[in-house]
């Protein structure tokens, strides 16, 4: 008897990863610019396809991750990428599926050192609420200043991060991803103008 095997995910590790990386690069280079990874995230199944798409693009057995008590997400990322699941304090990539965990994650994520600022965490936060706050941002990648409408989650995350008073180049880079696959970045040098 011949049976047909089909793959659970249709995500191309070569071509879809490349597309998502370029979108991530565009987002990091142009803070607060919204890019859409939905076309590629839709090739992954599960509760958090956008998270999985980012994980498939950046993670492998060379780096570690943390999912803030979301065991099913942790299992899925582990099986797809072979990255190491590690405690929040030492994880390279932190996936926050419940925005209520964002504050704790930002407070405790590794910030790198003055000599090795790249050994810092990137926090990817799920961001599905409607935008209710107006922020003015500035920093590298932004021409002068930019005013954006963001969710309370985003505002709170930036306030929390800036409140840590990391000594640059130490810092944490933030990515916000909606379940629709809309993504934008707030790297460590992007600052919020006083309200």
**79-103 b/e with 16+ CB inside 10 Å = b?**
ebbebbeeebeebbbbbbbebebbb
Site string for another protein, 148-177 (x = CB under 8 A): --------------------xx-x-x----
Total count of residues recorded for the chain: 195
Are 89 and 121 in contact, with CB atoms under 8 Å apart?
no
Minimum CB separation of residue 118 from another protein in Å reads 4
C-alpha separations of 78 from 60, 68, 114, 165 in Å: 9, 14, 30, 33
118 binds another protein (CB under 8 A): yes
Are 131 and 182 in contact, with CB atoms under 8 Å apart?
no
Minimum CB separation of residue 186 from another protein in Å reads 10
- The 10 Å Cβ neighbour count of residue 75 is 12
Site string for another protein, 38-77 (x = CB under 8 A): -------------------xxxx-xx--------------
Residues 124-153, interacting with another protein (CB under 8 A): 140-144
Minimum CB separation of residue 71 from another protein in Å reads 25
Q: Where do contacts with another protein occur on this chain (CB under 8 A)?
A: 13-15, 17-19, 21-22, 24-26, 28-30, 57-60, 62-63, 113-115, 117-118, 120, 122, 140-144, 168-169, 171, 173, 187-189
């Amino acid at each position: 008897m011949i049976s047909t095997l089909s793959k659970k995910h249709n995500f191309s590790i070569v071509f879809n990863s490349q597309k998502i990386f370029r979108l991530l690069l565009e987002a990091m280079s142009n803070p607060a610019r919204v890019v859409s990874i939905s076309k590629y995230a839709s090739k992954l199944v599960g509760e958090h396809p956008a998270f999985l798409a980012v994980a498939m693009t950046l993670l492998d057995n060379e780096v570690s991750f943390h999912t803030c008590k979301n065991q099913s997400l942790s299992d899925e990322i582990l099986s797809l990428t072979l990255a190491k699941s590690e405690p929040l304090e030492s994880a390279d990539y932190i996936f926050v599926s419940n925005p209520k965990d964002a504050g704790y994650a930002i407070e405790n994520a590794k910030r790198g050192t003055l000599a090795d600022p790249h050994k810092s965490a990137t926090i990817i936060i799920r961001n599905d609420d409607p935008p209710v706050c107006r922020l003015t941002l500035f920093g590298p990648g932004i021409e002068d200043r930019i005013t954006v409408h963001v969710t309370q989650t985003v505002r709170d995350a930036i306030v929390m991060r800036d409140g840590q008073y990391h000594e640059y180049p130490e810092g944490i880079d933030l990515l916000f991803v909606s379940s629709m696959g809309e993504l934008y970045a707030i790297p460590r040098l992007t600052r919020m103008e006083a309200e």
